[in-house]
């Protein structure tokens, strides 16, 4: 029992060739690129040499096999990826506005990713799972939420830990059952990995400090807040660490948060300290944004060490409390 596992959408991404390019007219595109937040996460875990596996569903088409081939090549156990005959692998079209914001067209809820069955989740599949990661983006159907709850229960029952990245669209939070599901998952979460604006989403408190106190009170043990260009913060009961983002040229932010989270989780599992883990996660996020393509910026320790060696310590402050 030593593997990190996750579950959810496995997609291809098609990228517009130019900034400001509209999908209302033909233009140069590039792809298909391996994608899907849980797939990017687990690829990054495997790149760090940690045992890694994903539960998911793709179509029996080139887009599905592209992902399976890629994940396998990077060391991910793909045996729990079902290849559906009656559905097409999901796809996401992304274009960047001049402002840097992204516009998407998604084929996800109508894709093989939505065919994920609670039957795919059982003790046999999860027997090696020491840590299970939940991506909020994956929770787009009640059947998948049920599958996710089942996975969490099995992993917790066998003594494993859980992390949760609540990258949920705002509209989803308006659905009461979705808020309940997120609250349920948070109850079982050991490591919580929100982006800056997400810290208060699942809390009553409107400010970050209050929300963090609430989340600790629910049993979460570590919180890592991803702030993009503004760096990141680590919180535990007795420690706070803030790091600046590493100065890199941003080619494509898609997948950076997933690589960051995967690196933090894998490093903690590999016995590194919170500070070491956060520095590696910060570097993984920086390398991810430097590469075009959502899964093209995953990196091994050699690449992370090389980047960190070039940089001064971007530690703003580390406070030991208590």
Helix, strand, or coil here: 39?
helix
Based on the shown chain and the rule CB under 8 A, indicate whether residue 32 belongs to the binding site for a second copy.
yes
- Pick 23 or 216: Cβ nearer a second copy: 23
CA 95 to chain centre: 21
Return the number of other C-beta atoms located less than 10 Å from residue 26's C-beta: 8
Contact residue for a second copy among 18, 20, 73, 105 (CB under 8 A): 105
- Rounded to 5°, the CA angle 207-138-11 comes to 130
How do strand 239-243 and strand 232-236 relate by DSSP bridges?
antiparallel
With residue 81 as reference, give the H or E element that holds it: strand 81-84
Contact residue for a second copy among 44, 78, 91, 138 (CB under 8 A): 91
Based on the shown chain and the rule CB under 8 A, indicate whether residue 107 belongs to the binding site for a second copy.
yes
Q: In what order do the strands lie in the sheet with 90-96?
A: 11-16, 90-96, 102-107
Contact residue for a second copy among 79, 110, 122, 313 (CB under 8 A): 110
| 266 closest CA partner among 33, 74, 36 | 74
- The distance of closest approach from Cβ of residue 313 to a second copy in the complex, given in angstroms and rounded to an integer, is 36
Contact residue for a second copy among 1, 30, 183, 237 (CB under 8 A): 30
- The distance of closest approach from Cβ of residue 52 to a second copy in the complex, given in angstroms and rounded to an integer, is 22
Q: Interacting stretch for a second copy, rule CB under 8 A, among 61-69, 146-154, 247-255, 264-272?
A: 61-69
How do strand 52-59 and strand 90-96 relate by DSSP bridges?
unpaired
Q: Interacting stretch for a second copy, rule CB under 8 A, among 20-28, 140-148, 187-195, 237-245?
A: 20-28
Inter-residue long-range contacts of 69-75, CB under 8 Å, 24+ positions, other chains counted:
70/34, 70/43, 70/295, 71/34, 71/39, 71/42, 71/43, 71/46, 74/43, 74/46, 74/47, 74/298, 75/46, 75/47, 75/49
Based on the shown chain and the rule CB under 8 A, indicate whether residue 29 belongs to the binding site for a second copy.
yes
- The distance of closest approach from Cβ of residue 293 to a second copy in the complex, given in angstroms and rounded to an integer, is 7
Q: Interacting stretch for a second copy, rule CB under 8 A, among 85-93, 204-212, 232-240, 278-286?
A: 85-93
Based on the shown chain and the rule CB under 8 A, indicate whether residue 172 belongs to the binding site for a second copy.
no
Structure tokens, 265: 């989780």
Contact residue for a second copy among 25, 124, 302, 320 (CB under 8 A): 25
Residues of this chain that interact with a second copy (CB under 8 A) are 14, 22-33, 61-63, 65-66, 69, 87-89, 91, 93, 103, 105-107, 110-111, 293
């Amino acid at each position: 029992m030593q593997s990190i596992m996750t579950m959810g959408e496995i997609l291809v991404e098609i990228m517009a060739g130019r900034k400001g390019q509209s999908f209302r007219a033909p233009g140069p595109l590039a792809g298909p690129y391996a994608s899907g937040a849980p797939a990017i996460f687990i690829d990054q875990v495997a790149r760090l040499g940690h045992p890694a596996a994903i539960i998911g569903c793709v179509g029996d088409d080139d887009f599905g096999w592209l992902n399976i081939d890629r994940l396998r090549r990077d060391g991910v156990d793909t045996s729990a990826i079902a290849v559906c005959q009656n559905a097409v692998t999901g796809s996401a079209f992304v274009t960047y506005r001049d402002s840097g914001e992204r516009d998407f067209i998604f084929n996800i809820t109508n894709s093989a990713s939505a065919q994920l069955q609670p039957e795919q989740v059982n003790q046999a599949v999860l027997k090696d799972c020491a840590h299970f990661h939940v991506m909020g983006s994956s929770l787009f159907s009640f059947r998948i939420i049920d599958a996710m709850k089942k996975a969490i229960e099995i992993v917790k029952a066998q003594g494993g830990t859980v992390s949760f990245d609540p990258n949920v669209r705002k509209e989803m939070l308006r659905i009461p059952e979705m808020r309940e599901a997120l609250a349920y998952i948070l109850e079982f979460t050991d490591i919580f990995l929100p982006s800056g604006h997400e810290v208060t989403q699942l809390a009553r408190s409107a400010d970050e400090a209050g929300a963090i106190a609430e989340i600790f009170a629910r049993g979460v043990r570590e919180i890592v807040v991803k702030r993009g260009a503004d760096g990141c913060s680590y919180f535990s009961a007795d420690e706070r660490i803030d790091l600046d983002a590493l100065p890199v040229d941003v080619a494509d932010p898609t997948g950076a948060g997933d690589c960051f989270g995967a690196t933090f989780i894998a490093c903690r599992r590999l016995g590194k300290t919170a500070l070491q883990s956060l520095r590696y996660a910060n570097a993984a996020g920086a390398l991810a944004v430097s590469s075009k393509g959502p899964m093209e910026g995953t990196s091994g320790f050699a690449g992370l060490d090389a980047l960190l060696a070039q940089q001064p310590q971007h530690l703003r402050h580390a406070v030991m409390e208590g």
